[in-house]
Structure 1
Amino acid sequence: MILFLAGTSDARELAIQVKQAGFPLLATVVTENAAIELNNQHIDVHVGRLNQAEMGEMIEQHRITAIIDASHPFAEEASKNAIAGAKDKGISYIRYERDTQTYEHPHLWGVSTYEEAAQKALEMGGVVMLTTGSKTLQTFTDRLLHQPDVTLIARMLPRKDNMEKCEALGFPQKNIVAIQGPFTKAFNQALFQQFNVNVMVTKESGKQGAVDEKVEAALDMGITVIMIQRPKIQYENQYSHYDEVIAHISREWKGVRS
């Protein structure tokens, strides 16, 4: 049995292909909506984040022989727990990582952390749109929400827990854009124009994360882009294409069967 961390839409597509290739798997996702997509493909799903201890328990309970970590490029804790769990139990770890992208533009600033991004946005001032999700929202509200020279706009998924977090942080309802992508370049530009945005904060999530459309839309409008670089994690058996992951599993599965 393979434990599959299906953190993104492209990861869930990979999970479906792994199942179609004949490999039994148990997927883990964070939201019920993601689970529905996999359940429709007759894939068993665990909903909820797993800490390291829970990861180990799941490996033992389901007799997991390999982990495919296809979590989001910024799901650092999930990857570290998967790496540690695989090492502790002596099973294989395979990483599916979206291709990285390189941007060069005088209006684009690369930073290493959310804290650096918040500080840079504070220096720039004006209308700052966050497209970084709700998990790290407090990092930005602590530094920017009550600054007289900054208007903070947050774009995030229209989930109840996200709205509750915004309310707890005192985030103005009028400055929340609750919507699910992916979005076209034209849609992004219309949204930037609607709020008169002059700074956009995003993450280097890869082309599958629709980063290109956001970045190009912003830069074409003269909007400063602050891009948070991916966490630096030393992955084993890292691949960026579905067929490479399936080929690796096939080699290992053949070895187990022989």
Structure 2
Amino acid sequence: MLGGTAEARALAAGLLERGVFVVSSLAGRVANPKLPAGEVRIGGFGGPDGLAAWLTGHDVAAVVDATHPFAERIGASAAAATRTAGVPLLRLQRPGWRQGPGDDWHWVDSLDEAATLVEGLGERVFLTSGRQGLSAFARCTRQWFLARCVDPPAPPLPPKIEILLDRGPYHVAGESALIRDHRIDVLVTKDSGGTMTTAKLVAARECGIPVVVVRRPRRPDTPTVEDVPSALEWVSAMLGA
């Protein structure tokens, strides 16, 4: 299991209940990650060849890529490595968010595009795109940023920035208060999907502020399901469990 998401943790627990041995691999980019049940491996594999060798050496019967929708590199490595090793691969990916009535969303293809767009949308920006993408906004010298991350970010950063270290799930009342208290007039996020962080989108709608949403990157053409029960059934069918 290539994990790090709530769906990966739920799938690991479900498979263990069925008597399936699971090794969950985490990238190690978060200092104190939420660990799934079962065996856990932290760190990279050394690219597709290293992952293929690991799969073969550990007699792996099936792989589930349940990484974050924006974990583009590991998704490509998983597709290449499983082809080399001859191991079936499933992608477990939560559905993306959908714009609803009253939402003022502006879709972009990258954080660089988001940085360009916010310069014309607002003066006080709530950044919820993760610490690794903050450098894209370093050139924004006029706006003030509130950046929420799990771990402290490294420079370069925008010159006017406040870092808020926090981890979801979040609630609408708290997100609305955060927007009001910091006088936020534009929100920037990635289309991560799921329910843990949707409260900020509801709060933005209720507060009447625009949202810049970064589209998901393209992933390899892999069999894909959108929920944990479907992934459970796929693994069970593969293993005869």
TM-score of the two chains, using structure 2 as the length reference? 0.90
Q: 1:119 and 2:116 equivalent? A: yes
Query: For 1:134, which of 131, 135, 139 is the aligned residue?
Result: 131
Query: For 1:80, which of 76, 79, 87 is the aligned residue?
Result: 76
2:108–2:215: 8 Å Cα contact kept in structure 1? yes
Which residue of 2 is the match for residue 5 of structure 1? 2
Residue type at the aligned position of 1:131: T
CA deviations on 1:35-78 (whole Å, 9 max, x unpaired) are 6x32xx3x111112343233123212212121100001111111
Q: Which runs of 4+ in 1 moved over 4 A?
A: 170-174
Structure 1 unaligned spans of 5+: none
Residue type at the aligned position of 2:8: A
Number of residue pairs matched?
237
Cα distance in 2 for residues equivalent to 1:76 and 1:109: 22
Which residue of 2 is the match for residue 54 of structure 1? 50
Q: 1:185 and 2:172 equivalent? A: yes
Query: For 1:70, which of 66, 71, 77 is the aligned residue?
Result: 66
Displacement of 1:101 in angstroms is 2.5
Structure 2 unaligned spans of 5+: none
Q: CA RMSD in A?
A: 2.0
Q: 1:221 and 2:207 equivalent? A: yes
Displacement of 1:117 in angstroms is 1.0
Q: 1:92 and 2:92 equivalent? A: no
Residue type at the aligned position of 1:153: L
Query: For 1:207, which of 165, 178, 194 is the aligned residue?
Result: 194
Query: For 1:154, which of 147, 150, 153 is the aligned residue?
Result: 147
Displacement of 1:32 in angstroms is 5.7
Cα distance in 1 for residues equivalent to 2:222 and 2:207: 40
Query: For 2:21, which of 15, 20, 24 is the aligned residue?
Result: 24
Residue type at the aligned position of 1:65: A
Q: Give the secondary structure class of the aligned counterpart of 2:59.
A: coil
Label 1:82 to 1:222 Cα distance change in 2 as closer, same or farther (>3 A): same
Label 1:49 to 1:219 Cα distance change in 2 as closer, same or farther (>3 A): farther
TM-score of the two chains, using structure 1 as the length reference? 0.84
1:6–1:15: 8 Å Cα contact kept in structure 2? no
Percent of aligned pairs sharing the same letter: 26
Residue type at the aligned position of 1:151: W
Displacement of 1:9 in angstroms is 1.9
Cα distance in 2 for residues equivalent to 1:90 and 1:24: 19
Q: Give the secondary structure class of the aligned counterpart of 1:5.
A: coil
